[in-house]
């Protein structure tokens, strides 16, 4: 019986060890503090939008149209978001504040504190509108796609208001509410039209930056 008991204890210890290894992602960050560091690092990637950043982004984008210019150019999250959302698409209301952008994974995220009435006037938020304050943080996340020479789109994969995620089926209606101007043919319902140089061939998002390539050639950044 003593041998059996010892064997049972060894089996139990082995099971506990396996369970601990499989669930290490849940308890190891709490023990080492690495989880907090990772969160702080991700939060530090947010950059404020500004007219100055938008102007820098515009200059870099215009350089692609120069025959003697670079075959690719890198923009920060702030530069590309300031250019697109404050200059071209103008989807962030003038009454918004604390506008920021970040590249997280393969997506560009933009967030700002906006008056809820500016986006909920037509009842597009449904019951969610009754849970929000007068001003809330609006966050959009997505990626760029070149449609044809001179026209690209920012495909919105995710919209959040405060901590509430907007259902994907409601994204087109919400974008229609906050966007301005005519929608060119070919732009997806869940996307924003972006005017870009005719020389732009591709847009890639990775490693904290947005890389634009021109049609005459490409080179690795």
pLDDT, tens digit, for every residue of 29-68?
A: 555 554 433 333 444 489 999 989 999 999 999 888 888 8
Comparison of pLDDT for 58 and 17, the residue scoring more: 58
pLDDT at 150 over 70: yes
Distance separating alpha carbons of residues 114 and 99, to the nearest angstrom: 9
Q: What's the pLDDT at 218?
A: 42
Distance, in Å, from the CA atom of 132 to the CA atom of 172, rounded to the nearest integer, reads: 20
Tens of pLDDT, residues 151-195:
999 999 999 988 888 888 889 988 887 776 678 899 999 999 998
pTM comes to 0.72
Percent of the chain residues past pLDDT 90, beyond the cut = 34
Q: How far is CA 185 from the centre of its chain?
A: 24
Mean pLDDT of the chain: 77
pLDDT in tens, 84-95: 887 766 667 667
Give yes or no for residue 8 having a pLDDT over 70: no
Rounded Cα distance between 149 and 57, Å, is: 19
Listed by start position, the domains of the chain span: 2-43, 47-214
DSSP state for residue 208 in the 8-state scheme:
T
CA atoms within 13 A on the CB side of 17: 6
Tell me the average pLDDT across 127-150: 83
DSSP state of 67: T
Provide the token pair at 25. 């992602």
Q: Which residue has better confidence, 126 or 41?
A: 126
SS3 category, 143: strand
């Amino acid at each position: 019986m003593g041998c059996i008991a010892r064997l049972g204890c060894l089996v139990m210890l082995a099971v506990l060890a396996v369970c601990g290894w499989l669930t290490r992602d849940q308890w190891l960050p709490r023990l080492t503090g690495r989880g907090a560091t990772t969160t702080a690092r991700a939060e530090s990637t947010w950059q404020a939008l500004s007219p100055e950043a938008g102007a820098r982004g515009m200059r870099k984008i215009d350089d692609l149209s120069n025959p003697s210019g670079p075959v690719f150019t890198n923009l920060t999250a702030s530069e590309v978001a300031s250019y697109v959302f404050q200059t071209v698409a103008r989807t962030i209301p003038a009454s918004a504040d604390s506008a920021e952008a970040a590249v997280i994974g393969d997506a560009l995220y933009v967030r700002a504190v906006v008056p809820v009435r500016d986006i909920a006037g037509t009842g597009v938020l449904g019951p969610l509108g009754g849970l929000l304050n007068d001003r809330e943080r609006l966050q959009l996340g997505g990626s760029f796609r070149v449609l044809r020479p001179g026209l690209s789109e920012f495909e919105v994969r995710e919209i959040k208001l405060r901590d509430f995620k907007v259902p994907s089926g409601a994204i087109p209606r919400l974008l229609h509410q906050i966007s301005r101007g005519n929608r060119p043919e070919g732009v997806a319902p869940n996307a924003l039209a972006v005017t870009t140089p005719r020389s732009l061939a591709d847009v890639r998002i990775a490693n904290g930056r947005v890389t634009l390539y021109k049609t005459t050639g490409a080179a690795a950044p």
